[in-house]
């Protein structure tokens, strides 16, 4: 179902069982400033997976692939050259910037900001208003081009509400970042970190590990 008010750019691959709601825009080419550091190129058409839903007012760019049964929430945005796995949820008002990969079943809750060149693996949980970053030089010096990298959030990791992930940090498998933490260095697998700068508080309870819920 494609709402009358939705805009679907030519070439966009939309399987029959997709839902595109009012005022959504799917398959738009990026419009970059002449000074943008993102690649200036025409990108291939957007590809939506079967059963995908693009909700009211959401914008999904060309050059991206959404897997099966993805839900892009109201007013959320997914930019160009992203690869979004099956069953991913992009919460209301969230922004996934260009060249980012999101693994299957990952949940990104409302108003999260996922920076360009980030990797979120499978079964990751990103709480509301999480912020991520990719440039320690904030647009100055040539080094910013060499070192530009968003965070890598490994399989099953969870990032709490309002947490901040600094450029290139790695959040280990099944790690847990507490609410409001500022993560400035890598977090080992299966530990809880809290505070600014984030420090290890304890191990994740075994009952919360994915392997435990998969067993249950």
Rounded (10°) CA dihedral 78, 81, 85, 86: 70
Binding window for ligand COA (CB under 6 A); candidates: 33-41, 48-56, 137-145, 189-197: 189-197
Binding to ligand COA by CB under 6 A, coded x per residue (else -) over 82-121, reads ----------------------------------------
Binds ligand COA (CB under 6 A): choice among 161, 182, 204, 209: 161
Q: Is 3 exposed, middle or buried (0-12, 13-18, 19+ CB in 10 A)?
A: middle
180 in contact with ligand COA (CB under 6 A): yes
CB of 197 to ligand COA, least distance (A): 11
Binds ligand COA (CB under 6 A): choice among 127, 166, 171, 183: 127
* β 199-203/182-183 pair status: unpaired
191 in contact with ligand COA (CB under 6 A): no
38 in contact with ligand COA (CB under 6 A): no
179 in contact with ligand COA (CB under 6 A): yes
SS3 55: coil
160 in contact with ligand COA (CB under 6 A): yes
Give the strands of the sheet with 170-171, arranged side by side: 65-66, 83-84, 101-102, 119-120, 152-153, 170-171
**Structural Rg of the chain based on CA atoms:** 17
The total number of residues shown for the chain amounts to 216
- Count of residues touching ligand COA (by CB under 6 A): 11
197 in contact with ligand COA (CB under 6 A): no
How many whole angstroms separate alpha carbon 55 and alpha carbon 76?
8
184 in contact with ligand COA (CB under 6 A): no
Compute CA distances 105 → 87, 124, 147, 156, 213, whole Å.
5, 7, 29, 10, 14
* Residue nearest to ligand COA according to CB distances in the complex: 160
195 in contact with ligand COA (CB under 6 A): yes
How many whole angstroms separate alpha carbon 107 and alpha carbon 103?
10
Instruction: List residues binding ligand COA (CB under 6 A).
Output: 127, 160-161, 178-180, 192, 194-195, 201-202
């Amino acid at each position: 179902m494609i709402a009358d008010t939705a805009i679907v750019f030519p070439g966009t691959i939309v399987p029959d069982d997709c839902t595109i709601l009012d005022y959504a825009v799917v398959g738009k080419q990026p419009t970059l400033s002449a000074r943008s550091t993102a690649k200036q190129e025409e990108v291939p058409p957007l590809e939506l997976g079967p059963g995908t839903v693009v909700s009211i007012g959401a914008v999904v760019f060309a050059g991206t692939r959404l897997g099966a049964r993805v839900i892009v929430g109201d007013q959320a945005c997914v930019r160009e050259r992203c690869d979004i796995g099956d069953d991913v949820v992009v919460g209301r008002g969230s922004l996934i910037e260009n060249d980012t990969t999101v693994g299957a079943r990952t949940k990104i809750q409302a108003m999260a900001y996922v920076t360009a060149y980030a990797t979120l693996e499978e079964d990751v949980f990103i709480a509301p208003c999480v912020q991520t970053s990719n440039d320690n030089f904030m647009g100055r010096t040539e080094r910013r081009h060499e070192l530009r990298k968003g965070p890598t959030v490994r399989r099953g990791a969870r990032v709490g509400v309002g947490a901040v992930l600094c450029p290139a940090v790695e959040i280990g498998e099944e790690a847990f970042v507490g609410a409001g933490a500022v993560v400035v260095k890598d977090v080992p697998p299966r530990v809880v970190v809290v505070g600014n700068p984030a420090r290890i508080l304890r191990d994740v309870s075994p009952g919360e590990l994915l392997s435990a819920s998969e067993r249950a």
